[in-house]
Structure 1
């Protein structure tokens, strides 16, 4: 595997994300890469093959990815992007750590807001397990995550605005 500069790896990673090309994104990864999900602490995706599968599922769910900020150095970069999962807009932060060959060896993901994260969970999880040959578990994950997605979506639109510190204080409810 050829040595890449961190700048060229990062540029290739960004281009792959914005074009929805999971294979091009996987080409930026070290063989021993580890991806840390924003959705679960129960496991990590380990190795290029597992992370590639996660990227394929993500690229099926995400739309309109646009990177807007990048900070870091020759060992670590933080990238920030916006996108959409279904009808939910989201913002994601990606912490990338690089090996001596300029490949991504660790990918830690952070996302917001909560309704978008629950949409992603209900979409990516079933895709991943279906690709593993477990369609029953895929249906179960989709069904189990649907109420959580609904509650977070309704809460974000109806309840959270009631706690807005800029909301008027003279009303009967506050």
Structure 2
């Protein structure tokens, strides 16, 4: 019988492959029934259970494209994975902190993303998709309309303003 650390490493390998192949069903198979996901965007958005995460993952894999993991650090019941991808042609990098239950299934996922323009692009793309899947077309429209100015300001600042704050070469 494999040790828990071997089983956890096998789950991590399956999770990575599922994400890189945009395979929501394979990703769901890695999850504990009472899994919890914390959003990188807000404390107000938390998903609980395989069913909620399944819908989220199927939509996230259409919004986040070309996932390629580059770093994996793990010990015991916790692993940290990092990948690069794209969101609406924006470069995107995410770190996932995964915690595992006694059966080597993912029980907790905390997400951390950068840069800010990619996060706001994700908000514009994923939020409305999730609302529409729930039959909330009005909320989907509101999310898109209210997120667009934030995305435009962040993108403009990232391209035009932030570069001006770099130290000047002497």
TM-score bucket (shorter structure): over 0.9
> After the TM superposition, which residues 1-174 of structure 1 pair with which residues of structure 2 at under 5 Å, given as runs?
5-165=7-167, 167-168=168-169
Consecutive unaligned residues of structure 1, counting only runs of 5 or more, are 170-174
Figure out how many residues of one structure are paired with residues of the other and give that number. 166
Runs ≥4 in structure 1, deviation > 2 angstroms? none
**Paired residue secondary structure (1:90):** strand
Deviation at 1:53, TM superposition (A): 1.2
CA distance in 2, matches of 1:43, 1:115: 19
Deviation at 1:32, TM superposition (A): 0.3
Which residue of structure 2 aligns with residue 172 of structure 1?
none
CA distance in 2, matches of 1:122, 1:43: 15
CA distance in 2, matches of 1:15, 1:115: 26
**Paired residue secondary structure (2:43):** coil
Consecutive unaligned residues of structure 2, counting only runs of 5 or more, are none
CA distance in 2, matches of 1:101, 1:74: 12
Deviation at 1:168, TM superposition (A): 3.1
Deviation at 1:43, TM superposition (A): 3.0
Q: State TM-score, norm by structure 1.
A: 0.92
Q: State TM-score, norm by structure 2.
A: 0.94
Root mean square deviation of aligned Cα: 1.3
Q: Alpha-carbon deviations, 1:123-168, whole Å to 9, x = none?
A: 1111111101101110110111011111111100000001113x33
CA distance in 1, matches of 2:96, 2:20: 14
CA distance in 1, matches of 2:118, 2:36: 23
